Every structure is written in structure tokens, then in C-alpha cells.
């Protein structure tokens, strides 16, 4: 099975996914994200792609071609939004909600943007690199 990677500007995401769907990529396998807060200067991006703090990664599959394609979309911290893929692939509903819940990236046009993993009153997004995980003091038993 072959794997390809496309770096897609977020304003072209819907158009790109529509073309891929029409070309035989009939299933979204995954929608996830990465927070590159601590790695701003990445060398794995083509020169024409500007690295942003967040990256949304969408993986599609073509059963007929036995091929996968990974779309990498740069998302700026000051505007963490991307268009929803729900209208093209309804199966992305829960995947997008997980990314929104964990990273705070909003999928514009999503039919149900409520939290899916964290309680509704939870403050913050646990997979962001600047999210404070808190500390629990470790208590050791006295040694002899």
C-alpha cells in the first residue's frame, strides 16, 4: 500500500478533500492534530509551507488503488480553526470533536461542537503543550 503526503492550506482543505473523494478516496481513517509549540522550526516541511503552532492531520484511503494519503494542514495559534469535513465524510464527527476537545482547534460548521472526552465545564485543552498538568507530591517511606 502506498502512502502520500500533501501539505494543504486550510482554505483549500474542503476543495482538496472533495477532489480526493471524487477520485476514489472513499474513507477518512483519522483526523488528529499536533501541537508544535516546543518545535517551531520544523525541517520536514516544504519551503513553501509556513510552519504554524498546530497541524491538523487527515488520513484518507482508496480501497481500489490500495493507497493512503495524509493531508497536513498548518493551523495558526492565533486562529485555531479549520473547516469541518463532516459534510463530505459524516464519520469524522467524533474525530473532529476529539481534536477540538484536546487541542482547542475549532472545526467551523461542525454539527455538534460539544466536548466529547472532557467534562463540559473543563477549562483548557489537555494535549496542548502549554497545558499545566498539575503536580501531586510524591511521598516516600523513610529508609532504615
Q: Which domain holds residue 83?
A: 2-108
Q: Whole-angstrom Cα distance, residue 120 to residue 112?
A: 13
Sequence-ordered strand ranges (E) for 25-125: 27-35, 54-62, 67-75, 81-83, 106-108
Q: Terminal CA-to-CA distance of the chain, rounded, Å?
A: 60
CB 31 within 8 A of CB 55: no
Tell me which DSSP letter residue 97 carries.
H
Question: Would you say residue 1 has pLDDT above 80?
Answer: no
**Domains identified in the chain, total number:** 1
Q: Is residue 139 part of a domain?
A: no
Question: Would you say residue 64 has pLDDT above 90?
Answer: yes
Q: Is residue 141 part of a domain?
A: no
Q: Is residue 49 part of a domain?
A: yes
Q: Is residue 143 part of a domain?
A: no
Q: Is residue 87 part of a domain?
A: yes
CB 84 within 8 A of CB 107: yes
Q: Is residue 55 part of a domain?
A: yes
Model confidence over 3-52: pLDDT tens digits?
Answer: 899 999 999 999 999 999 999 999 999 999 999 998 877 888 999 999 99
Higher pLDDT, residue 12 or 132: 12
Helix (H) or strand (E) holding 40: none
Higher pLDDT, residue 138 or 116: 116
Q: Is residue 89 part of a domain?
A: yes
| Cα angle for residues 105, 47, 84 (degrees, 5° grid) | 25
As a whole-number percent, the residues of the chain with pLDDT over 90 amount to 83
Q: Whole-angstrom Cα distance, residue 95 to residue 83?
A: 13
Q: Is residue 113 part of a domain?
A: no
Instruction: Give pLDDT, residue 138.
Output: 66
CATH of the domain at 18: 3.30.460.80
Amino acid at each position: 500500500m502506498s502512502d502520500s503526503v500533501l501539505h494543504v492550506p486550510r482554505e483549500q482543505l474542503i476543495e482538496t478533500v472533495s477532489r480526493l473523494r471524487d477520485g476514489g478516496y472513499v474513507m477518512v481513517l483519522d483526523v488528529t492534530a499536533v501541537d508544535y509549540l516546543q518545535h517551531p522550526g520544523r525541517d520536514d516541511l516544504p519551503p513553501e509551507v509556513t510552519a504554524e503552532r498546530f497541524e491538523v492531520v487527515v488520513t484518507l484511503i482508496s480501497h481500489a488503488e490500495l493507497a493512503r494519503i495524509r493531508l497536513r494542514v498548518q493551523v495558526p495559534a492565533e486562529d485555531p480553526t479549520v473547516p469541518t469535513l463532516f459534510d463530505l465524510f459524516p464519520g469524522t464527527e467524533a474525530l473532529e470533536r476529539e481534536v477540538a476537545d484536546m487541542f482547542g482547534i475549532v472545526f467551523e460548521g461542525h454539527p455538534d461542537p460539544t466536548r466529547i472526552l472532557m467534562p463540559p465545564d473543563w477549562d483548557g485543552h489537555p494535549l496542548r503543550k502549554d497545558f499545566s498538568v498539575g503536580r501531586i507530591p510524591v511521598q516516600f517511606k523513610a529508609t532504615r
